[in-house]
Amino acid sequence: MSSSLTDGREAPTLHWSQIHGWFRWRDLQEEAAATFAAGSTFVEVGCYLGRSLCSLAEVVSAADREFTVVGVDYCRGSGPEGTAARDAHAATVAEGDGTLAGQLHRNVIACGYADRVHLVVSPSPAAATLFADGSLAWLHLDARHEYDSVLADIDGWLPKVAPGGWLSGDDYDEQWWPGVVAAVRDRVPDAEECSTGQWRWVKPKSA
């Protein structure tokens, strides 16, 4: 979101840190850029207004190798979720007349990544069908946090991850997001906690 100037105009969004949102895995982005080969594809599912997505674009822009960055979001918000049953996206969706896609795209453009970031506006499982099995180096989930939704996301995206690639996600917190923790334990029980409140599963190279 933009900050206000004293004359009432809004200052333009020029950097990911100015975008409203929740983001705690910059270290994973930096690790991914240092780990995977040139030409690798990174997909973030659940972008909201683009804070973490534009950070990822900044990270890969600074790397000495080319990567493809894709953001996937339904752009209609997640609705009430978690133990607090809070709808954190409602106001933004309402401001956009039922969608946050316009604001997301504007932020990507304003941060200078329109030619680097590819946006897919789609429900998560449907978007997964657009990618070939084994084609993704890193898939990060931060979409709807309820148990059934996380299961569907893992089931849809796991085959798309290449051997040796990462399937990871945000809000691995049993107190606030028990659905996330339960779904991860049920589908990828050997996933490990990493970064701050994140989980990561590394696909076996023999898979």
Q: Which domains does the chain have, with CATH numbers?
A: 16-202 (3.40.50.150)
For the ranges 52-66, 74-88, 114-128, 162-176, the lowest mean pLDDT is seen at: 74-88
Q: Residue 199 forms beta bridges with which residues?
A: 169, 193
Count the residues in the chain: 207
Quote the mean pLDDT of the chain.
93
**pLDDT over 90, % of the chain:** 83
pLDDT digits (tens, 9 = 90+) for 140-166: 999 999 999 999 999 999 999 999 999
**Distance (Å, whole) CA 42 – CA 56:** 9
Q: What is the pLDDT of residue 86?
A: 87
- CA distances, 65 to each of 38, 39, 165, 202 (Å): 5, 8, 17, 22
| Cβ-proximal residues to 178 (8 Å cutoff; 6+ apart), any chain | 83, 147
